[in-house]
């Protein structure tokens, strides 16, 4: 099983690659729609600006091939911006469209808190999660972001598997069939993060 890492220039790709290699996974970097179409498991890492990611996906038909892969059932893990990309749109780049796989939008974190949300924070379980299998609710993960998908009112979207609260309560883990995503950085989150990646590798195997 080869894990294809979608390389659009994100700074955290090498870290994700190293973390997977520590788990003895085979990885490859891909950047074309043709290689996305052939991928058997996909990871979209991402840090930085939402606009930079969405514009990169709009080059060379990557957006279409990525959506097609998700619909085909290819196991997918989105990390940080890779989670945000799955939603409708983001306040960080209001003119651009997200992949629109999941309902909800990305907003700037608001409340009396410092930004970026930087460091180790606790993730609260909101139901059975394949990615969080074997990890206690309340475990710490490493976050580095200023935007997130907030919980609106009482309801969480059914895809939400865990949340984190900083300024507002937001989606930390989301799962929908073959599509998995986390707002934190599992590649930087010590043993708990390694477990998340292991769980994804098991799902993808």
Partner 1 sequence: MSLAHRIIPCLDTDGERVVKGVNFVALRDAGDPVALARRYNSEGADELVVLDIAASRDRRPTFLETIRKVATELAIPLTAGGGIRTLDDARAVVRAGADKITVNTAAVLRPGLISELSEEFGSQAVVLAIDAKRDVECWRVMTTGGRVSTDLEAISWATKGAELGAGEILLTSVDRDGTQSGFDVALTAAISKEVMVPVIASGGARWPQHFAEIFCEGAADAALAASIFHDAIQSIRPLKEFLASQNIQVRLPC
| Position among 73, 103, 119, 158 found at the interface with partner 1 (CB under 8 A) | 119
Question: Phi/psi zone of residue 23: left (φ > 0), alpha (ψ -120 to 50 degrees), beta?
Answer: alpha
As a whole number of angstroms, the distance between CA 63 and CA 32 comes to 10
| Position among 35, 67, 105, 188 found at the interface with partner 1 (CB under 8 A) | 188
Rule CB under 8 A: say whether 193 interacts with partner 1.
yes
Q: Which of 53, 72, 165, 155 is nearest to 112 (CA)?
A: 165
> Between residue 149 and residue 178, which ones bind partner 1 under the rule CB under 8 A?
165-166
Return all residues near 18 (Cβ < 8 A) that are at least 6 apart: 187
Q: How far is the CB of 143 from partner 1 (least distance, A)?
A: 8
As a whole number of angstroms, the distance between CA 24 and CA 140 comes to 24
Rule CB under 8 A: say whether 142 interacts with partner 1.
yes
Bridge pairing between strands 42-44 and 26-30: unpaired
For partner 1, the closer of residues 68 and 120 by Cβ is 120
Bridge partner list, 152: 155
Rule CB under 8 A: say whether 49 interacts with partner 1.
yes
As a whole number of angstroms, the distance between CA 47 and CA 172 comes to 15
**Options 92, 145, 164, 185, the catalytic residue:** 185
Determine whether 198 is an active site residue: no
Determine whether 185 is an active site residue: yes
| Position among 37, 121, 125, 198 found at the interface with partner 1 (CB under 8 A) | 121
Determine whether 71 is an active site residue: no
Report the interface residues with partner 1, using CB under 8 A: 11-12, 14-15, 18-19, 22, 47-49, 114-122, 124, 138, 140, 142, 144-146, 165-166, 185, 187-191, 193-194
């Amino acid at each position: 099983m080869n894990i294809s890492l979608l390389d659009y220039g994100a700074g955290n790709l090498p870290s994700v690659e190293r973390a997977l290699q520590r788990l003895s996974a085979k990885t490859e970097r891909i950047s074309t729609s043709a290689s996305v179409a052939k991928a058997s498991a996909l990871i979209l890492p991402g840090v930085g600006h939402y606009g930079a990611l969405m514009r990169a996906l709009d080059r060379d038909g990557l957006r279409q091939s990525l959506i097609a892969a998700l619909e085909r059932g290819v196991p997918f893990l989105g990390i940080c911006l890779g989670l945000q990309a799955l939603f409708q749109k983001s306040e960080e780049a209001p003119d651009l469209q997200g992949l629109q796989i999941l309902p909800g939008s990305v907003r700037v974190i608001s409340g009396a808190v410092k930004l970026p949300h930087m460091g180790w924070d606790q993730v609260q379980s909101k139901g059975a999660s394949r990615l969080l299998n074997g990890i206690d609710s309340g475990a710490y993960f490493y976050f580095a972001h200023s935007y997130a998908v907030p919980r609106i009112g009482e309801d969480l979207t059914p895809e939400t598997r865990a949340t984190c609260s900083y300024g507002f309560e937001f989606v930390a883990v989301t799962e929908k069939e073959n599509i998995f995503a986390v707002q934190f950085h599992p590649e930087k989150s010590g043993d708990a993060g390694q477990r998340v990646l292991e769980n994804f590798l098991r799902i993808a195997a």
